[in-house]
Amino acid sequence: MPSIPYSKKVMDLFLNPKNLGEIENPDAQATEGSPACGDMVQLQLKVNKDTHVIEDIKFKSFGCASNIATASIITEIAKGKTIEEAKNLKYSQVVDELGGLPAVKVHCSILAIQSLKRAIENYEEKNGLVPKDKPTDEALIKERLRGVIDPNTGRDLVGSKLLSKIDFVGGKLTIYLNLKDTNQFANAIKEEIIEKFEYRWDVKSIDVVFLD
């Protein structure tokens, strides 16, 4: 018996998750959280380019029963919706679909929604569907870096002070981190940073520099 009072639906999806796995050549993906320090969700999308309907969506999850169940249910809710409809989903809808979540686990539903919205955002940027009147600036860069967790401390890159400096000149984005390239999490952090910016319309290249 679980020590936390999960609903029957949460337990069913934990034991038999839907849409678990990967999509070959996804149109977009996003990763939120960190497997090293807690829950993590990665979502991949296949989107009809004419109708903008999410035709397929799969997930990978690292974490507790709630994390797996919320990631599973969000794929079921989003599949068949347009990206505009999916963007308007709320974490409360996820909680309701699951028959409720313990208060200490509601953050899992928020993580699932954040992953979906970030994947859609990446799709829109990749396909030129975002307005170009909002160029990439330091505020946007820091906002996205707050979504990258430093597994060494369990805090985001900005809050953990791992971020040393940001340079963005002529479309070239360089992120300097107070971390050695030999750190066991260095490559994972670099991949997450690239994922956050690779489809920005005004970002031509991304470099992550590890400082000794």
Enclosing H/E stretch for 44? strand 40-47
Two structure tokens written together for 154: 């369990």
The string over 65-75, giving b where at least 16 C-beta atoms fall within 10 Å of a residue's C-beta and e elsewhere, is bbbbbbbbbbb
* Given the residues 43, 83, 108, 162, the one annotated as active site: 108
Tokens 């470099």, residue located: 207
Tokens 């990631």, residue located: 71
| Cβ proximity of 68 and 17 under 8 Å | yes
Question: CA torsion, points 25, 29, 33, 39, in degrees to nearest 10?
Answer: -60
64 is a catalytic site residue: no
* Given the residues 20, 37, 140, 166, the one annotated as active site: 37
Q: 47 vs 29, 64, 74, 89, 103, CA distance in Å?
A: 11, 29, 16, 17, 33
Please list the active-site residues: 37, 108
